[in-house]
Structure 1
Amino acid sequence: MKAHQKINAIGKLAKNTFYGKKLIESHAQHESRVKELSSSLQDREDKKIKRRRLLGPSEFWGEYWRQQEALLVADQGSSNSMHTFVLQYDQGYRKFIVAHPEIYWLVDESRPKEERCSYEVIPDGSPCHLYFDLEFTKDLNPTSDGSKMTKTLIDVFCAYFLEHWGFPCRRSDVLSLDSTTDVKFSRHLVFHVKNVMFKNNKHTGRFVKAICSSIRQSLLVDNTKRSSADNILSHFPRGDLAELFVNTMKGKQLFVDEGVYTRNRHFRIYKSTKLGKNSHLTVSDDSEYILNSTHKNKELGLFLDSLISYLPSTKNLILLEYQDKNSIDAIKYSKECLSQRQVCVRTEKKTESPYPEIDKFILDIVKPGKIREVKVMNDDILLYTFTDHRYCANIGRPHKSNGVYWIVDLHSQVAFQKCYDYDCTGFKSVPRKLPEKICFELDKETDILLSSIPDTQYCSSRQTDNVVILEDDADSELANIDLPASIT
């Protein structure tokens, strides 16, 4: 017998002698049973995981540099489950992320607090809840009671909900999120009327602007004439409505930001903060919102309810339409309602106009920025939007979030800058005369040049003055341009 065989035999003999044969056999049976149970438990867990993936939210996660690509991917997702989010990084860049909201929340919740800088993209043409961005500077308004003002505003819009569409709306239906700092009062409101949403944020914007206009008008008439001016507002104390106006650098204004209803708007989500600031959106202390009992996880439920365009179910969903006070309707949801969104998302953008010399002239002004899109309005108006360029002549520096655009009036042969920031509403830079070479060519070949513009690019608006104030017109083609980065 070889040496190693002898050693094994001696070891086996010693083992049998020490433990006893029966104990060793019992131990072997136990190990075999443990392996069987472990295998059975693993199979059971695998089945649970597969079942969760089958019945639960999709685990898809896509990251994209371009918003257009992300919206297309989300649009092609199953039913309405895919959502587009924007995540800002401290290095200054951002990514567009497509995921199911529940999956995004699980990932976002695990991030360090200071890195939670996320926004929801409200897709153009997609159904959405009524939402608000409320704010005012505290130093300019030391006596303003933001909490009371918010409650008054909620009551006003709930009254109009009932008047226009017959749907009851209460404070308990409104999620109030707060990110107030020592410098600024800031609230986000999301109205959750059961089974009711607006057809898209264009209708939402028209509704909000119409009521805000009514509030302004109601304070311009005598108390004796208020009832005839607006029956709804006549039920609210004049003093309460007056308190909704705050001091700004441009005078008295409503504390409602009416500029947050643009195309593909970015709206901050629950528990997120603006980049570089410590102002996370949390439920306000005075919020009376009642969370849906179907949400087992309260934090997840609040996050889902904070989303403006999330459609967990379209069964029995009613969509509200608001063209003006004489054209109000409510329709039942159907897949055809999303056809407008799909067309908008897939529209190809043009980065060159029919006038290369004018394009070069504009590029020289905005360097190192690039032309993002050119639109030809009617026959003689060009509108340019940009990437990597946000310089605003009104404030003398680039805007942090909102974009700017340039208008070229071929008839007057001038170019000027306008801004999408709400605080710059109505601003128009000093017009720049187009170079003589361009003017000469325009004068010489006007008929030829203008006749070469495709009819499909025409817009119904003609006058330059209309272009200047188009930001206040929710129906305007210009007011719904896909902006570089409008975030709130």
Structure 2
Amino acid sequence: MTKLSNTANSKIKVEESWRTEEKENDTPKKLSHGIAPKGFHRKRDKEDSSVVKVKLEKLKGDIETSVLSQGMQQHALSLETKRKAFRKKTTLKSWPLQDLAMDHLDHLLGKNSSQQFHGGDHLLSDSSSSMESMEHNKRRLSPNDKAKTATPIVKQETNDEEETTTTCTTDDITTNMNEPLWSREPRIFATEKSQGKRKYIVGHFGRVADWYWRKANSKHLYEVIREQTPCRLYFDLEFSKTYNTDIDSDQLLLEFRQELAAELMTHFEISLDAQQIIDLDSSTDAKFSKHWIVDTPNCLFVDAPTVGRFVKRLVSRLADEMATGHLAQRQPELAKHLFVKTKEENKTSCFIDLGVYTRNRLFRCFASSKFGKKATLEVSRSNKYPLQLPPKQPPKKNASLQDYIAANDWEPHARVLAKTLVVPLSLRGETDKPSKIRILRVEEQAEMFRQYKGAGRPRWNERHNRPVPIRTSASPVPSLDEYVNTELSSRGGVQGSIRVWSMEFGPRDVPVSITYQLNKNRYCELIGRSHKSNNVFWTIDLASWTCIQGCHDPECFGRGTPTPIPADRLKPMQEELQQWEEERFEEALLALNLEETDDNTTKEDEEDATAASTDVITSESSSNLKADDQVDKEEVDNLLSDDAILDAVLSNPELFP
């Protein structure tokens, strides 16, 4: 017993020492006294309701995500099915050379359909933005979510060639033929791959539009305005802001539009307002640049060179009225800045680019930029033509199905691209009957010469019935020759010289102008570069002492900027011309024999009577004339009619500047 009691006491002491040590080292924890059963069950009920709510919200979100994913997948598969069916009936290829591309276009148009046609690089457009977005969403889903969306709502059928769906047929594409995105009209475009290097794209327009908006990351697309193809009236308007700081561009364009409307009404009886002009802008801080495409209802020009003749005729009229001062009274801003300053000192150019009307011309498309440039061709802030382009926005993380469908709807984009083409797209109407298109024609330079003969044309464009002698010697105004050699023949950075000159006379044998044909310098102010084979000339109007440049290129009808001769060089020219006229008058007086006036008159009367009788005899026996009969030169001149002389002038324009 004693041992047991001792053992128990020792255990008690050990426990007490441990408890004492625990109290010294640690703070005692509070013990829970428990809760009432009623409170315990009430707390469990609250926890159950919150958990159930969270689970329900999660389940609802999973269901919405699953339905949204299936809807996106269904829409993406439907779009891809349409595109696959459309690609089966269409083509899209690229070519390194324009001639090959033109042959392919002719093949699509059926001009050489009987021949085998191969080659070209296919532009792949199998993957769509909607499919890529769907795959991106799939990568973000969890494995459980993937399992929920693995089976799409759309049932699929598989054949040996390619996978299709039953939700879309070719009839759906046929009903959308009015949409440019599904157009099967063959077209040709060009795209820049590097500075000065291009590739040509040929295919049906729907394929081009689909590739352009969905696949082309860097957009450098140009429309090829093919020769002998009806097109709209278009303009390339540009000038340097650095050298023309005082131009009010809005007022300048307003006055130019008014003059353009007057020109269309005068020649074609076509009215024009601001709502018919597609106004595209690619201006920068250093350069003003705009494209105007005029959408006149059911009216097209024959081709691009015809548009060029119309524009050059307009510019020629404006330049004439500017020289006479009439344009400044009516359109002061246009008269002041029709010809704008350039980086070359003392050189101006028309702010209307007259070099964009050549055959097979490339014209930049909407939303494209030049290679190496950032400025894209966008809708101008002053545009009043109805264009609606929804912004291209990728689907948001929590986007609705409607937002997803709108973000992948490329029909509005293709529609805007089609509306901004110079050669409009031929879409089917509701009755499948094409509207009657009025073709506008502008006569060639020769026809315009006949039309304006003696009708008050500009003095520097006048032609006279009398032959104009071409001379290689010095002109009667040597100081003017020197000015042409030193100043006018060095335009464009190339030093030229006078090849020949000629003087034109007006009524009463008064000198009107002197024309200098240049040698070694073919720089043309109308196109801003040198011609390859056509020479240029300068005409000096002796009444206003202004110099006007022209060229022998039939596509450059019109003249350059009227350049006045500086006042410090004008006085010796006027004195030399006056002295030459006085000497010429004195020579005429000395050649006149007043004593033989009566005898000469009688002799002339007898010669006229003889000539009249000779005409009668000749008309009766003209068949008996021999081929080697010699005819007097004066009689030949009398036999030549005005039309014969006119034809000779038109056949040899280089001899009659």
Unpaired stretches in structure 1, ≥5 consecutive residues: 1-40, 227-232, 329-392, 397-414, 430-460, 477-488
- Name the CA distance, whole Å, in 2 between partners of 1:296 and 1:196: 29
> Residues 233 and 300 of structure 2 are in contact (CA less than 8 Å); yes or no, is this contact kept in structure 1?
yes
Instruction: Tell me if the contact between 1:207 and 1:324 (Cα under 8 Å) persists in the aligned partners.
Output: no
Residue 337 of structure 2 corresponds to residue 243 of structure 1: yes
1:312 to 426, 431, 453: 426
1:97 and 2:179 matched: no
TM-score (norm 2): 0.41
Higher helix share: 2
Question: Over aligned residue pairs, what C-alpha RMSD do you find?
Answer: 4.1
Q: Is the 8 A contact 1:180 1:279 kept in 2?
A: yes
1:322 maps to which residue? 442
The equivalent residue for 1:83 is 187
Q: Which amino acid aligns with 2:331?
A: P
Corresponding position of 1:208: 311
More displaced 10-residue stretch of structure 1: 185-194 or 146-155 = 146-155
Find the partner of 2:417 among 290, 295, 303: 303
Q: Per-residue displacement from partner, 1:359-402 (whole Å, max 9, x unpaired)?
A: xxxxxxxxxxxxxxxxxxxxxxxxxxxxxxxxxx9569xxxxxx
**Separation (CA, whole Å) in 1 of partners of 2:531 and 2:435:** 45
Residues 1:257 and 2:353 aligned together: yes
User: By how many angstroms is 1:159 displaced?
Assistant: 2.2
Alpha-carbon distance between aligned partners in 1 of 2:267 and 2:360, rounded to the nearest angstrom: 27
Tell me the matched-pair count.
308
- Displacement after TM superposition at 1:199 (Å): 0.6
Secondary structure of 2:250's aligned partner: helix
- How far apart, CA to CA, are the structure 2 residues paired with 1:420 and 1:64? 33
1:427–1:50: structure 2 CA closer, same or farther, 3 Å change rule? closer
CA distance in 2, matches of 1:47, 1:181: 39
What residue number does 1:344 align with?
Answer: none
Once structures 1 and 2 are overlaid, which stretch shifts more, 263-272 or 161-170? 161-170
Name the structure 1 match of 2:642: none
Q: 1:106 to 1:422 in 2, by over 3 A?
A: farther
Equivalent of residue 286 in structure 2, options 183, 187, 211: 183
Is the contact between residue 129 and residue 190 of structure 1 (CA under 8 Å) also seen in structure 2? yes
Q: State whether residues 202 and 475 of structure 1, in contact with CA within 8 Å, keep that contact through their aligned partners in structure 2.
A: no
2:212 is matched with 108
Equivalent AA in structure 2 for residue 245 of structure 1: F
Q: 1:151 offset after TM fit, Å?
A: 2.7
Q: Is this contact kept in 2: 1:210–1:324, CA < 8 A?
A: no
Q: 1:396-419, CA deviations, whole angstroms, 9 ceiling, x for partnerless residues? A: 9xxxxxxxxxxxxxxxxxx96857
Counterpart contact for 1:155–1:171, Cα < 8 Å: no
1:62 aligns with 2:158: no
Worse-matched range after superposition: 247-256 or 280-289: 247-256
Q: Is the 8 A contact 1:136 1:255 kept in 2?
A: yes
Q: Given residue 237 of structure 2, which amino acid in structure 1 is its aligned partner?
A: L
The yes-or-no answer on 1:271 pairing with 2:353 is no
| Change over 3 Å in CA distance of 1:472–1:178 after alignment to 2 | farther
Task: Measure how far apart 1:308 and its partner are.
Answer: 1.1
Name the CA distance, whole Å, in 2 between partners of 1:46 and 1:86: 27
C-alpha distance 469-244 of structure 1, shift in aligned 2 (>3 A): closer
Residue 469 in structure 1 maps to residue 551 in structure 2: yes
CA 1:165–1:325: 2 relative to 1, 3 Å: farther
Residue 164 of structure 1 is matched in structure 2 by 267
Report the equivalent of 1:73. 104
Q: What's the CA shift for 1:111?
A: 4.4
Relative distance call for 1:423 and 1:140 in structure 2 (3 A) is farther
Q: 1:420 to 1:77 in 2, by over 3 A?
A: farther
Say which SS state the counterpart of residue 356 (structure 2) adopts.
Answer: coil
Deviations 1:128-177 (A, max 9, x none): 11011110011100121223322322222122222221222211111011
Asked whether the equivalents of residues 178 and 281 of structure 1 are also in contact (C-alpha less than 8 Å), the reply is yes
Preserved CA contact (<8 Å) 2:312 2:557: no
Amino acid at match of 1:317: I
Asked if the contact 1:202–1:474 (Cα under 8 Å) also holds between the matched residues in 2, the reply is no
Q: CA deviation at 1:264?
A: 0.7
Match of 1:53 in 2: 86
Higher-strand-fraction structure:
1
Shift of 1:296: 9.2
Report if aligned partners of 2:226, 2:361 keep a CA contact under 8 Å in 1.
Answer: yes
- Structure ranking higher on relative contact order (CA contacts 8 Å, 6+ apart): 1
3-state SS in 2 of match to 1:69: helix
Any idea what the Cα deviations from partners look like across 1:226-258, whole Å, max 9, x if unmatched?
Answer: 7xxxxxx98x43444333332122533321000
Counterparts of residues 125-144 of structure 1 (less than 5 Å): 125-144=228-247
The question of whether the paired residues in 2 share the 8 Å contact of 1:420 and 1:471 is answered with: no
Given that residues 178 and 186 in structure 1 are in contact (C-alpha distance below 8 angstroms), is that contact kept between their aligned partners in structure 2? Answer: yes
Aligned partner of 2:383 in structure 1 is: 287
Which string of whole-angstrom CA distances, capped at 9 and with x for unpartnered residues, describes residues 280-323 of structure 1? 10011111112499x99443222112211234155311110011
Equivalences for residues 378-393 of structure 1 within 5 A: none
Q: 2:321 aligns with which of 204, 210, 218?
A: 218
Partner Cα distance (2:419, 2:193) in 1? 25
Secondary structure in 2 aligned to 1:205? helix
Structure 1 counterpart of 2:86, one-letter code = R
Judged with a 3 Å threshold, the aligned counterparts in structure 2 of structure 1 residues 103 and 195 are, in CA distance, closer, same or farther, namely same
Distance (whole Å) between structure 1 residues aligned to residue 266 and residue 245 of structure 2: 35
Q: Report the 3-state secondary structure (helix = DSSP H, G, I; strand = E; otherwise coil) of the residue aligned with 1:74.
A: helix
| Contact 1:58 1:100 (8 Å CA) reproduced | no
Q: CA deviation at 1:206?
A: 0.4
Question: For 1:102-131, what per-residue CA distance to the aligned partner results, in whole angstroms no more than 9, with x for missing partners?
Answer: 321221223465x21111111111111101
Separation of aligned partners in 2, 1:107 and 1:118: 11
Which amino acid is 1:75 matched to? D
SS in 2 for 1:89: strand
Q: Alpha-carbon deviations, 1:435-476, whole Å to 9, x = none?
A: xxxxxxxxxxxxxxxxxxxxxxxxxx9x8979x934463489
Equivalent position SS for 1:211:
helix
Q: CA deviation at 1:96?
A: 0.7
SS at match of 2:422: coil
- Per the TM alignment, residue 197 of structure 1 is displaced from its structure 2 partner at its CA by 0.8
Q: Distance in 2 between matches of 1:63 and 1:47?
A: 23
Flag the 1:292–1:52 CA change in 2: closer, same or farther, 3 A.
Answer: farther
In 2, are the aligned partners of 1:394 and 1:427 still within 8 Å (CA)? Answer: no
Closer, same or farther: CA 210–75 of 1 in aligned 2, 3 Å: same
Aligned to 1:403: none
The whole-number CA distance in structure 2 between the counterparts of 1:472 and 1:246 is: 25
Q: What letter corresponds to residue 239 of structure 2 in structure 1?
A: F
TM-score for the superposition, normalised by structure 1: 0.54
- CA displacement at 1:276 relative to structure 2: 0.4
2-side partners of 1:151 and 1:475: how far apart?
A: 25
Q: Give, as a single letter, the amino acid of the residue that structure 2 aligns with 1:197.
A: L
Q: Which amino acid aligns with 2:187?
A: H
